Structure 1
Amino acid sequence: MESILSAVVSGEATRQDFAALPLPESYRAVTVRKQEAEMFAGLESRDKDPRKSLHVEQVPVPELGPGEALVAVMASSVNYNSVWSSIFEPLPTFGFLERYGRHSPLGKRHDLPYHVIGSDLAGVVLRTGPGVNAWHPGDEVVAHCLSVELESADGHGDTMLDPAQRIWGFETNFGGLAQLALVKSNQLMPKPGHLSWEEAAASGLVNSTAYRQLVSRNGAGMKQGDNVLIWGASGGLGSYATQLALAGGANPVCVVSSPQKADICRAMGAEAIIDRSAEGYRFWKDEQTQDPREWKRLGGRIRELTGGEDVDIVFEHPGRETFGASVFVTRKGGTIVTCASTSGFVHQYDNRYLWMSLKRIVGSHFANYREAWEANRLVAKGKIHPTLSRTYTLDETGQAAYDVHRNLHQGKVGVLCLAPEEGLGVRDHELRARHLDAINRFRIAAPPAG
């Protein structure tokens, strides 16, 4: 592994040099273990501790198959699916791996008693399998997390509709929170040259998800002038949605939970901000009963901030806690687009406000390759910036996942894998200098470590 790291850090190794590097027999990776899948049985979600379930251990290097690439991972990041994996919710990920194992002989590689998790990476291609022509050893890349077989006609209009679509590092093995990762070649995209490894690794999943959800015609199809309500606007998803709204000429209405998070949104350029904690919104009277008066109060507050207009789009991901309010406050003919349910999967809303006002609920899940590529292209051009607030070592991944689980973070948190320190991997120093303040925006505002 030292020879691989030396070649990457030198910045002078050629394709031939990388292709000639010997591969190790094993590598360090963050795993969950099948035998521990019931370790949190009986506990509430909030009481499950990723520091107890995530392990950093040596695992064998997987066999490289057709259409695949083995990547040296310089940095990765923690997404909420990493938290789900670590607390075995909504169910242990080993069921995904078992089904993949039944899919094909190559799929059997993924069905193991351990799961290497993680759905982001920035790194360098080491090897490519048969049939890979667009990528070569030595290419500096980031990866999006759509793993797709494309053997069904259903996936050829939109690969997210392929019946064999999976999220890499969550529904497949050999993910990005490791020193090496196995990906399909059509997951690879060029690493933005002005970013360090950890900065480049921060955007893939969340930026692509937000792009499809908000911008793409597969999502809300946002246009100039739209009012967009963004829940958790300083968080991993919301921070990219806020940037995409601003870059696209829309008006984000940012919902946050603290003055510090409100300041982050202002620093991004947002003006309409609701601090839901300071304003005391309580959308549920108890576990079974929502409070429509609070929906109306939120709607009134939105109109105060927009000059009397309701929102055209609601960027939804909290789920159960907020969904009733989201449906209510959307304008007639507007769109509620949802990609997650971090507060609960069973949503309740008053259907009268949906059908009688001709509103739409759109489900959005990650992004296809084209959408992920366009989202990455915006980052590479300096139009959208990483929202990295803190970086952890590979051995500290459990703490990183704990902090995300407890919402102790801003934006995204990164993990150094092979990279020995932060700040490495920058190639375009001129572009970086023009955007340095924006790149560091979330780092400056990061709260103390949890």
Structure 2
Amino acid sequence: MPGAIYVLGFAIFAQGTSEFMLAGLLPAMASELGVSVPTAGLLISAYAIGMVAGAPVLAMATLRLPRRTALLAFLGVFVLMHVIGALTPGYEVLFATRLIGAFASAGFFGVAVVAAVDLVPDAVKGRAVAIVIGGITVSTVLGVPGGTFLGQFLGWRSAFWTVAVLSTVAMVGIAYALPRGRQDAASIPGLRDELRSMANPGLWVAYATSALTFSSMMATFSYLGAMLTDTTGLPEGSVPAVLALFGVGSLIGITIGGRIADAHPFGALTVGMTGVVLASAGIALAATNPVVVIVLVPLLGAFGLVTNPAVSVRVYANLGEVRTLAGATITSAFNVGNTLAPWLGGLVIGAGFGYRSAAWVGAGMAVAALGTVALGASMHRRSILRTNEVAAGTELRVSASAL
């Protein structure tokens, strides 16, 4: 696997840390900024909104730029937004930096995934995407509990400074690891070709699956830190350790998923989402039992992330040679769900149903994801049958003409 794949994974790790570290920082941030925990949770949604808008817009805006140049520019904006976020005293400015930083991160993510796919042969594209996206998983293993730990002992702003430093290191790595130079202008599709590539119905089913799979897990995870202290009754100092268990489970899940996604995407999606339904429901039902919750948290991460490479495989299975816009839009679809998850979780919490209710939201989203997986599998089978029928008809015509 080319070294550039791992560098891109590290950059995604730095940005993923920013996206998810707020799950363990919400109570402290809410207190200092003078807002409620559900309102602070909207900072997670703000990031997701920026990701939804940024991926397709920036991928197309930088279509004719060298990928290395585009990736460095996106990371530069991302670093600047985190420096401002670490310095701002107000919720409104912080909200804006989350939107803009995420917009830039989405552009990075969209270009990085397409770049990774182009760097490797067809047989290992799923594994390459798993390594790049695996940076998100590593951020849940190290970044999220690390950010929570920093927030508890040095204040939540220290976590923002850490992300800025990590992203700067990633910029140096990308500057050295990615190939220089422009793409061949003749090989770059036009905007009309890119838009035409989005007309595939199977692609939109894959996007729906992407929107629901990871976010079904995030509905629970977004408020997990608050639930652990408020409902489960764990001391605040133990929250980073439980979040780290979630990350370990996620790492195991995406490792397994990366190895089976190319050969068994629908199986990985079905098993993963069924596991998320069971783990989320278990957390909701046993939210006051620390032992049960601690056992279920890593299982939630494992089942949730085993689906991640398979989602990318299903998207790229529906793409032809024109894939920049369609490939980048997977990031938007991914974050549509991540916008809905904390928002819906915040709604049910704000309605007085308690932090455990967010886990029920996650279970419901996972059930919906299973529906899109079944639809995608059905469309895939019909496509294979049509292909076989066309091939058989062609063979008969050739045989008849030979006679």
Fold agreement, TM-score > 0.5:
no
Q: Which structure would you say has the larger RCO, counting Cα contacts within 8 Å and 6 or more residues apart?
A: 2
Give TM-score scaled by structure 1 length: 0.26
Give TM-score scaled by structure 2 length: 0.29
